[in-house]
């Protein structure tokens, strides 16, 4: 094989490599970005699950002021602090249900009291190709925590 024929064969091989890369690169980049986006979705879900669990725990044991309004604000503030900054981005809808046994309107905290916190959140999807898979271009999820205050037995 002559030198000019080898040179032409190398150019053809290099040209076919570029065409193959041009065909595969968009699919590879889409998959890579989709994996990163789905990882962010799971991270947001787990972070908010941790934050709502901390809020429920605070509702049971961290109350200094038994007034319902003040207690609810303290719980929300605890959720904000535990959410690593996601609370403001997700703008969650919070439901607080308490099962105070003693008929008080205060937040739970007595022995046997149960508190249930639920957050309904919406994470905006950033990848345009993933938006059709989520209604309104947002990943909507709900996290909840239920805790019961145990009676202290000496």
99 in Cβ contact with 108 (< 8 Å): yes
11 in Cβ contact with 107 (< 8 Å): no
Q: Which stretch of 15-19, 75-79, 80-84 has the lowest confidence by average pLDDT?
A: 15-19
Give residue 67's pLDDT band: very low, low, confident or very high (50, 70, 90): low
Considering only CA atoms, which of 24, 44, 55 is closest in space to residue 147? Answer: 55
Q: What is the pLDDT of residue 103?
A: 42
Could you write out the DSSP letters of every residue in 120-138?
EEEEEP--TTTGGGSGGGE
Checking if the pLDDT of 41 tops 60, the result is yes
Q: What is the pTM of this model?
A: 0.73
Checking if the pLDDT of 53 tops 90, the result is yes
Q: Which stretch of 64-73, 91-100, 127-136, 141-150 has the lowest confidence by average pLDDT?
A: 64-73
Q: The tokens of 22 are what?
A: 């041009």
Q: What is the mean pLDDT of residues 30-38?
A: 90
How far is residue 120's CA from residue 140's CA, in Å, rounded to a whole number?
A: 7
How far is residue 78's CA from residue 88's CA, in Å, rounded to a whole number?
A: 13
Q: What is the pLDDT of residue 74?
A: 83
């Amino acid at each position: 094989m002559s030198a000019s024929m080898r040179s032409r064969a190398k150019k053809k091989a290099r040209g076919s490599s570029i065409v193959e890369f041009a065909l595969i690169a968009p699919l590879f980049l889409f998959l890579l970005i989709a994996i990163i986006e789905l990882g962010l979705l799971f991270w947001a879900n787990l972070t908010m699950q941790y934050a709502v669990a901390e809020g429920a725990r605070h509702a049971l044991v961290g109350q200094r002021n038994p007034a319902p309004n003040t207690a609810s604000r303290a719980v929300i503030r605890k959720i904000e602090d535990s959410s690593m900054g996601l609370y403001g981005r997700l703008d969650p809808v919070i439901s607080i249900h308490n099962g105070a046994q003693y008929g008080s309107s205060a937040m739970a905290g007595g022995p046997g009291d149960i508190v249930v916190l639920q957050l309904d959140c919406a994470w905006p999807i950033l990848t345009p190709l993933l938006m059709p898979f989520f209604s309104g271009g947002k990943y909507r999820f709900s996290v909840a925590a239920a805790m019961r205050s145990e009676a202290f037995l000496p």
